[in-house]
Chains A and B, each alone.
Chain A
Amino acid sequence: MPKSSSVKAPAEPGRLSVRKTYKLYIGGAFPRSESGRTYLVDGDNVALASRKDARDAVLAARAAQPKWAGATAYNRGQVLYRIAEMMEARRAEFTALGVRSSELSAAVDRWVWYAGWSDKIAQVAGGANPVAGPFFNISAPEPTGVVAVVAPPSLLGLVSVIAPAIVTGNTVVVLAAGPQVAITLAEVLATSDVPGGVVNLLTGRYAETAPWLASHDDVNAIDLTGVDHPDVAIELERAAAGTLKRVIRPVTGGVDFTADPGLRPMTALLETKTVWHPKGY
């Protein structure tokens, strides 16, 4: 992603520039990598996440999950809409990082679109089932739990993998590809009433951290959308099979994120709970 020169404020005589280090986003805080490592991206220092950062992020995501899933769908919708509001207010920052205006608008709109789905998906993915017996039979979708995500590099792609996972009550550990854009999005999330731990963002090389998440016993699903090498995807899927994780496979040729996403990104990370309730006579 090309970075325009306008990202740094023009030098004022007699004033030192305030340089920024892009850190990780775990449990609502912005820690450096546990390993102390950084790498350079377009002249910026970016934290290079280790497997232990991934482990910490899973702990944070697990701790946040019951409360986030327990929030009302209406409330989750409001929080997602708030993300759109805050992102709109930070347009200049994203633009300075080289995000095109049209993509930025699409990303903001995607939050709004998913915000609307929060209190509607249950009616579409669940419902009352007719059964031959004196029972009410009801199916309701429930979140899968903690989802690991290997995110695609674009901002719209990043939003398009996070939003459908969290709108239904999952929490995510995201291995981000475009670090500055991802951490700027984390700054949006941190100021949007999203509870700490619901979204955790790690920057660095997914090849290093993703295998640990794929084999992790406390991760319930893994989204491989951003994996750009088929052999790596197969390896990760194989590791994920050890705990019967849900796996979202990468699409050959990439996903067109500008298209209508449909319901699949949401329903792929939902489990159906069916309840048989005796009818009284």
Chain B
Amino acid sequence: MTVTAAAELSDLRSFLHGLPGVDKVGVEARAAALATRSIKTSSKAKAIDLAIRMVDLTTLEGADTPGKVRALCAKARRPDPADPTCPPAAAICVYPAMVKVAAEALAGSGVHLASVATAFPSGQAPLEVKLADTREAVADGADEIDMVISRGAFLAGEYTRVFDEIAAVKEACGGAHLKVILETGELATYDNIRRASWLAMLAGADFIKTSTGKVTVNATLPITLVMLEAVRDFRARHGRIIGVKPAGGIKTTKDAIKYLVLINETVGDDWLSPDRFRFGASSLLNDLLMQRTKLTTGHYAGPDYFTLD
């Protein structure tokens, strides 16, 4: 850890509250303005393939079965069985109980295996339970862990507790990448999102992720913009590159391309890679595939020709 980081930690609260406030109107206007960019033809084809490679294909339902997880893994390896040129998805994202099944199904494919952990989605469990949850998932074969922060503690101002929790989970991850879910929909303000982003990055996150997908407000462009600014500034200060993962509510190719434009205009093309940016989504992949089919065949595609999940 660098000297500045140590100094920041010595007084976490004053550092986080010393971050410049977010101009709400400005950030929303900026995101809306970038969303109007038109990406067509060959650029669109490249954007679609990149977006497919960035998808964390997710199933987080109480009704998940081994069969459904295997089907999803098959889809991640070969999203469009009719077209061998279609790239694979970045990762599969499942509950810890499904990690073993997914690890078998993904063996040797190069598709990453992410598991949500730490009492997802609420995060309201004792630390020991969260750590055991994480270790179990890693032992079963997950190479990426999506943890949730304790929003209750964060909102109550117990920053050190949140920091220590993230650091402890990071340690429990071992070699696995750690994505920290801020659950921006519950943080209420952009200022809080900026603070939580910095808190997670200082504590050792490899990725910061917007949402669980289980609350009403999920990923939005302005929220992602605030987080991208945070990773940009963090890199400038500490030299470490942190990834960003918006999750929940991104359903169409149009939405996905807006995010790609946002990345390019905010943090530059260093982040235009599945190692730095991911989409947490399930239905998005089908829309990407339909748009891809439209571009390759020259006629509009229909959902009947793609798998349901």
Contacts and interface: CB of A to CB of B under 8 A. Distances in A.
B299 A58 contact: no
A274 B302 CA distance: 26
Interface string A165-190: 00000000000000000000000000
- Interface SS of A by simple majority: loop
Interface in B255-307: 293, 298-305
A144 interface: no
A218 B299 contact: no
Interface string A241-261: 011000000000000000000
A238 interface: no
Nearest to A54: B300
A70 to B, nearest CB: 18
A217 interface: yes
Q: What bracket does the count of chain B residues touching chain A fall in?
A: under 10
A203 interface: no
A212 B299 CA distance: 7
Contacts of A215: 298-300
A135 B191 CA distance: 68
B290 to A, nearest CB: 8
Nearest to B301: A217
Interface residues of A, number: 11
A124 B137 CA distance: 60
A213 to B, nearest CB: 9
A212 to B, nearest CB: 6
Contacts of B293: 217
Nearest to B306: A217
A217 B298 CA distance: 11
- Interface SS of B by simple majority: loop
B294 to A, nearest CB: 9
B117 to A, nearest CB: 37
B252 to A, nearest CB: 11
Contacts of A219: 302
Interface string B51-91: 00000000000000000000000000000000000000000
Contact of B302 (A212, A216, A239): A216
Contacts of B303: 218
Nearest to A212: B300
Nearest to B290: A217
A65 B299 CA distance: 22
A243 B301 CA distance: 10
A218 B293 CA distance: 13
A76 B298 CA distance: 36
A239 B297 CA distance: 12
B299 to A, nearest CB: 4
Instruction: From B298, B299, B301, name the one whose CB has the most chain A CB atoms within 10 angstroms.
Output: B299
A243 B300 CA distance: 11
A245 B210 CA distance: 43
A54 to B, nearest CB: 9
Interface string B187-222: 000000000000000000000000000000000000
Interface in A187-237: 212, 215-219
Instruction: From A55, A215, A217, A243, name the one whose CB has the most chain B CB atoms within 10 angstroms.
Output: A217
Interface string B16-28: 0000000000000
Instruction: Pick the 9 closest A-B CB pairs, nearest first.
Output: A218-B302, A217-B302, A215-B299, A216-B300, A217-B301, A217-B305, A55-B300, A217-B300, A216-B299
Interface of B: 293, 298-305
Interface of A: 55, 58, 212, 215-219, 239, 242-243
23 contacts: A58-B300, A212-B299, A212-B300, A215-B298, A215-B299, A215-B300, A216-B300, A216-B302, A217-B293, A217-B299, A217-B300, A217-B301, A217-B302, A217-B304, A217-B305, A218-B300, A218-B301, A218-B302, A218-B303, A218-B304, A219-B302, A242-B299, A243-B302
